[in-house]
Structures are given as structure tokens and as C-alpha cells.
Amino acid sequence: MKMLAKKIAFTVGLVIIGFFSSAQSVEANQLSQGSGTGMILASLIIVLLLLFVMYIILKIINIYTVGKQKKNKEATAALEGKTAVHEEISGEVFAAISTALYLYETEQHDHESTILTINRAAKSYSPWSSKIYGLRQIPRK
């Protein structure tokens, strides 16, 4: 099978090389090939077709892996003796949790110290903020 693929690839390569390395002049090539719209349309169709095929393949792989993960999750739950409980959490529970978190966060801010401390940097000079390298100086010639 690999030999057949290699032979086909070699033959196609020879045909392509022969097509582009013909000894015709530029004018003769332009007359025989036209404006190239056929080549543009063919390449566009091929690219879009390959993108669609890749989309389908990735979709199939995704479906397969999601199904496999679901089976693995159910198998581990069965081994641990747990049963899958699918209870939906009501809106009141979400509201209670979010209210508790909000109150906890605001309570922490109430106990913070209100003293602002600014420490001086040990080295105040930085070449990044130096004004001696500005462009206002007259350049030497």
C-alpha cells in the first residue's frame, strides 16, 4: 500500500514538474491558460471541501471522546458505590450562597486598616526616566 502511494505521488510530481517547466514562451502560456479563474475556483472549492471534511472528522472525534468520558465517569462511580444523583439546585439556594459570599467579602473590607503607608524607594534615579537623553538637545554633526 505504501509503495503504491509513493508511486502515485512520484507520478503526480513528474506531471506537475513537466507542466510548469515546459519550454513555451510566456505569451503562449498566457494564451493557452486564460485568466486563471478556473484555477482559482478549483483551489477555492478544494480548500473549502477539505475544511468541511476536517470539521466532520473533528466532530466525530468529539462525540467519541465525550461518550468515552461519560462511560468512564459512570464506571468509576459504580466502582466507588456511588449512584448518579441528578438533582437540580433551585434558584433560592444560589441566591443564599451568593448573598453569603457577598456578606463575607464586605465584612473583610470593614476590618482592614485604614492607614496608608508610602515607603520611599531606595534608588530614585532610573535611566528610563532620565531627561538628559531627550531629543531637545541639538545633535552634534
pLDDT digits (tens, 9 = 90+) for 84-131: 556 778 888 889 999 999 988 887 665 556 667 777 767 767 777 676
Count the residues in the chain: 141
- Is residue 59 predicted with pLDDT exceeding 60? yes
- Is residue 136 predicted with pLDDT exceeding 60? yes
CA distance linking residue 74 with residue 72, whole number of Å: 5
Residue-wise DSSP of 52-78:
HHHHHHHHHHHHHHHHHHHHHHHHHHH
In this prediction, residues 13-41 reach a mean pLDDT of 65
- Is residue 23 predicted with pLDDT exceeding 70? no
The pLDDT of residue 72 is: 84
Q: Which of 44, 40, 63 is nearest to 52 (CA)?
A: 44
Highest mean pLDDT among 37-41, 52-56, 126-130: 52-56
Residue 88 DSSP symbol:
P
Residue 104 DSSP symbol:
H
Phi and psi at residue 125, to the nearest 5°: -90, 135
